[in-house]
Chains A and B, each alone.
Chain A
Amino acid sequence: MDIIRIPLGDWIESGLTWLTSEYSIVTRGISRFTQTGIDVLNSALFWLPEWALLGLIALLCWRLGGVRLAIGAIAGLALIWNLGLWEPMIETLTLVVFATLVAVVIAMPVGIAAALSEKLYRLIMPILDFMQTMPAFVYLIPAIPFFGIGSVSAIFATVIFSMPPAIRFTTLGIRQVPVELIEAADAYGANRTQKLFKVQLPLSLPTVMAGINQTIMLALSMVVIAAMIGADGLGSEVWRAIQRLRPGDGFEAGIAVVILAMLLDRLTQSLRKTRR
């Protein structure tokens, strides 16, 4: 006996087509906004000569993380410059920074809301599981009809893939504020807003920062995948090396990604420590 196959794929496709045609104004708006953001950030970073930007980043590393981090940053960035990968590195940095910003702006309120409402928490957690475990490639497919080939689609997919830890950690951070401190705030007559901004958020900040760190790392891990739909940057260098079967070029670009990842990781971690 034949069992009717559930046409799940068809439903999703028709849903997406409907979304694309009905909400083209929205997607076009998002597209334009994102593209402008990327362009502004890119041109700002390209406007600075290489040595100046390198110096600025080293200074930032020194202030936040100390001398060792600064030396590491100089060595790593100088290597990237030397390999001729400066331009794709900047494009990748822009992509990661922009995607992280968008992810955090969405994740913070959602995470806070999920921490404060048990119902919302139960609704959001499975969605997060879905977002995180769905293979990232899959997001690329609808991204193209929504936003076309290029950086905007890449950012869309990156945001979806990298946002869950920021939400999770925000929720976790707020939920693990000790009960007696909440009780103390209540006992002195603090209202919800006061409790949130004077007690819950400041105390969850280290955890929130850990979440943001995770988001950055995930965003960076998306760059190669994003290159498949035409995003510029180090990912596209890797992608080109794959297509031309040139392991040397591939590793050079790959090492540049690693350097960038380590730099961003250490920077955000030191930010977390200084905040304590």
Chain B
Amino acid sequence: MDETRNVKIKVRGLSKVFGKQPKKALELRDQGLKRPEILEKTGQTLGLSNISFDVYEGELLVIMGLSGSGKSTLIRCLNRLIDTTEGDIIIDDENIPTLSEKALLECRRRHFSMVFQNFALFPHRTVQKNVEFGLEIRGVDPAERYKIAHETLTQVGLEGWEDAYPNQLSGGMQQRVGLARALANDASVLLLDEAFSALDPLIRKDMQQELLELQSRMQKTTVFITHDLDEALNIGDRIVLLKDGEVVQIGTPEDILTNPADDYVRRFIEGVDRSRILTAESAMRPVRTTARESDGPRTALHRMREHSIDSIYVTDRDRNLLGLLEVDSASQAMEQGADTITDYLTQDFRKVPPEEPLHNLFAMFSEKGFPIAVIDEQERLLGVVVKGAVLDQLARAGEK
């Protein structure tokens, strides 16, 4: 695939056997036996078999599979919460399975932050102290880690909750704390183990969106585990599909939808509700950047230039959509010395709910070609649809 990108983690020939005679199980595997037969013959469970893939620097890689596919085992092998049976996991020239205990601790501190399905927050620590945990372990001095944790909490929208205990927070907020704990640590790789699976669907969407925003801002190498194909397609730069401890397919969401590697994958993507694929949501792209109502024209212009766009959606703190700012209006605002951009917004654009059928969207593009805003019931901006994406989706549907 993209040869020019730096590889952050290189996984080669990774296998994991649960049981006391792993060699025997691997021998049988090499003779071509599959997991159920090996279990029957040796009593050993072949958790992972000969897994190889790369994680590129700065990408969001989704490892997806149903329960029993070995995805949780795989993510735990990456930071060696589970010891591997054979194979290499190379991160920055260190081979994780061969590290000494001391080197492993050092490696975990430097390279890995983790977010857990059931949050795994420390109930005896305040939100602030939870977020400080990784830094505390690394021996960062108290004033410094207080500052970092505070900033990170603000980043995930939890300012003011520093002194609360985890059990006083809702599930969504708890997972924000979990995310903040991981981000504060500033490790080079972020591991998310079914991080949003325990959240209810609406909050889950929000969190996915936020993760994508964080990702576009920070470019952090991220490995995300999920059993949910929708989630995988929504957030993944690339997807590794696992089945029974083996890799079935590796590719971008488009690759997997358009060229399923085998019948298993084909059946899998048929499970995705086709009608949903052909809605505004399916063609929706996360908003790469938005302006805040409090931003000045200079900031807004800077963002547009940075992302090479000529209009930008403006939201308030809660992501409620306020309007669209065109590049001309922004320049005008700057010339007139305006402090904020709120007076220069236009409402001359279309907004649709996520379930809006795709073919309706086609007629909505104005001659200026502003992207269509997709909003939820609270008028919060979920994403945008650009003209090309609609065509693309419709064309793909036509093939089927």
Given contacts A183-B81, A194-B137, contact A188 B122 (CB under 8 A): no
Interface residues on B, range: 20 to 34
Cβ contacts under 8 Å, B382 to chain A: none
Q: Which of B112, B121, B123 contacts A187 (CB 8 A)?
A: B112
The 8 A CB mask of A183-196 against B (1 = contact, 0 = none) is: 11111111100100
Q: By the criterion CB–CB under 8 Å, are B122 and A181 in contact?
A: yes
The answer to whether residues A180 and B113 also contact, given A188-B108, A188-B133, A198-B136 and a CB cut-off of 8 A, is: no
Q: Which of B91-148 contact A (CB under 8 A)?
A: 105-109, 112-114, 116, 118, 120-124, 133-134, 136-138
Is A57 interfacial (CB-CB < 8 Å)? no
Tell whether A202 is near chain B: CB-to-CB under 8 Å.
yes
In the assembled complex, which residues on chain A have CB atoms less than 8 Å from the CB atom of B116? 180, 183-184
Q: Does A59 contact B (CB under 8 A)?
A: no
Residues from chain B with Cβ under 8 Å of A202 in the complex: 124
Neighbouring A residues of B342 by C-beta, 8 Å? none
In the complex, chain A residues whose CB is within 8 Å of the CB of B152: none
Other A-B pairs beyond A184-B122, A189-B134, 16, CB < 8 Å? A184-B120, A187-B79, A187-B81, A187-B113, A187-B114, A188-B108, A188-B113, A188-B133, A188-B185, A189-B108, A189-B112, A189-B137, A189-B138, A190-B137, A191-B105, A202-B124
A187 touches B122 (CB 8 A): no
Is A199 an interface position by the 8 A CB rule?
A: yes
- A30 at the B interface (CB under 8 A): no
Q: Which residues of A contact B118 (CB under 8 A)?
A: 180
Q: Tell me what chain A mostly uses at the interface: helix, strand, loop, or mixed.
A: helix
A203-B121 Cα distance, complex, nearest whole Å: 12
Instruction: Provide 22 A-B residue pairs closer than 8 Å at the C-beta atoms, listed in order of the A residue.
Output: A178-B120, A180-B118, A183-B120, A184-B116, A184-B120, A186-B81, A186-B108, A187-B79, A187-B108, A187-B112, A187-B113, A188-B108, A188-B133, A188-B137, A188-B185, A189-B106, A189-B112, A190-B105, A190-B137, A202-B124, A203-B122, A205-B124
User: Which B residues touch A181, using CB under 8 A?
Assistant: 120, 122
A183 to B72, CA, bound (A): 13
B383 to chain A, nearest CB (A): 32
Chain A residue contacts of B114, Cβ below 8 A: 184, 187-188
CA distance in complex: A178, B136 (Å): 21
Best-surrounded residue of A187, A191, A203 (most CB of chain B within 10 A)? A187
Among B288-315, those with CB < 8 Å from A are none
Q: Which residues on B are within 8 Å of A, measured CB to CB?
A: 79, 81, 105-109, 112-114, 116, 118, 120-124, 133-134, 136-138, 185, 191
Question: Which 4 pairs between the two chains have the least Cβ-Cβ distance?
Answer: A189-B109, A189-B108, A187-B114, A184-B120
**In whole angstroms, how far apart are the Cα atoms of A48 and B79 in the complex?**
60
Assuming the contacts A188-B108, A188-B114, asked whether A203 and B123 have C-beta atoms less than 8 A apart, the reply is: yes
Q: How many whole Å from B360's CB to the nearest CB in chain A?
A: 45
B122 CB contacts on chain A under 8 angstroms: 181, 184, 199, 203
In whole angstroms, what is the CA distance A89 to B92 when docked?
69
Q: How far is the CA of A174 from the CA of B191 in the complex (A)?
A: 27
Residues of A within 8 A of B108 (CB): 186-189
A80 to chain B minimum Cβ distance, whole angstroms, is 38
Question: In the complex, how many angstroms separate the beta carbon of A189 from the nearest chain B beta carbon?
Answer: 4
The complex places the Cα of A15 from the Cα of B185 at a distance, in Å, of 58
- Residues in A with CB closer than 8 Å to B123 are 203
CB distance from A162 to the nearest CB of B (A): 28
Q: How far is the CB of A190 from chain B (nearest CB, A)?
A: 5
State the CA gap A190–B112 with chains docked (Å). Answer: 12
**Complex contacts, B185 vs chain A, CB 8 Å:** 188
CA distance in complex: A198, B124 (Å): 10
* Closest beta carbon of chain B to A206's beta carbon, Å: 10
Residues in chain A near residue B137, CB distance under 8 A: 185, 188-190, 194, 198
When distances are taken between beta carbons in the complex, the residues of chain A under 8 Å from B79 are: 187
Chain A residues within 8 Å of B81, by CB? 183, 186-187
Residue of B nearest to A205 (CB): B124
